[in-house]
Amino acid sequence: MKRAFPILAVLTALLLTYSTYQALVVAPTERTMGDVQRIFYYHVPSAWTAFLLFVVNLVASVIYLTRKSAKADAVALVSAEVGVVFCTVVLVTGPIWARPVWGIWWTWDLRLTLTLVLWLIYVSYLVLRRFSDSSQTPKLAAVLAIFGALDVPLVYFSIWFFRTQHPQPVIGGGGSLDPRMLHVLLINWLAFSCLAFVVCCWRYRLELLHREVEEMESLEALRGVTQ
């Protein structure tokens, strides 16, 4: 994986360049909203990628609780970190898109509120992992991650079952989307998913090295005490 990483990173960069060209140039201009609608190709893939990473965090957290796997715990931490980044992109691009379309930056719409709650839960997860030194911290964080993952389907299905400021889903929910727009949307999601994978791999390696250093320092400190 170490040798393949630079190649994967270059391919991801090329895919991101291509997807950006597709979103800004190739995709047709939406008749009602105009060019501001192109934020759609970054807002939606960021949300889907964040959801995917939070699901990975959930699975890794469950594995850690059942098997006490240090690698699973590292995967949980890394996926939460990168997931929060993509969720932040969602919360930033949303108001930028909403201002010219809805005339407001923010409203306490059900989906917006649930997305903010999701972001706060995983930020709390990261704060717990960063500032707590207790041996029970990974276990507590895993439980919090499982709780946070329950909000993911609530965010996704909020516009399916409740009337919200958001339009109805354009895929599988009674809405419509130009096939060319769908094509560009999926390309961007693929690009964002590859970017998330590359960043997670890089961060995972750093996390394992960090834990090895901490373990060596602990052993050295223990030897110093016993001598």
Contact between residue 75 and residue 216 where contact means Cβ atoms under 8 Å apart: no
pTM metric for this prediction? 0.88
- Average pLDDT of the segment spanning 2-28: 90
State pLDDT tens for residues 111-132: 888 899 999 999 999 999 988 8
To which residue do tokens 């140039």 refer?
Answer: 25
Q: What is the pLDDT of residue 92?
A: 94
pLDDT at residue 86 is higher than 60: yes
State pLDDT tens for residues 131-172: 887 788 889 999 999 988 888 888 877 766 666 666 666 555
State pLDDT tens for residues 171-206: 555 556 778 888 999 999 999 999 999 999 999 999
Percentage of the chain lying above the pLDDT 90 cut: 49
Q: What is the pLDDT of residue 190?
A: 96
State pLDDT tens for residues 62-85: 999 999 888 999 999 999 999 999
Strand partners, 30: 34
CB under 8 A, 24+ apart: contacts of 55-64: 55/149, 55/152, 56/83, 57/83, 57/122, 57/145, 57/148, 57/149, 58/145, 58/146, 58/149, 61/141, 61/142, 61/143, 61/145, 61/146, 62/142, 62/146, 64/138, 64/139, 64/142
Kindly list the domain boundaries of the chain, sorted by start residue: 4-27+38-163+175-226
Q: What share of the chain is helix, strand, coil (3-state, %, to 5)?
A: 80, 0, 20
Q: What is the pLDDT of residue 60?
A: 96
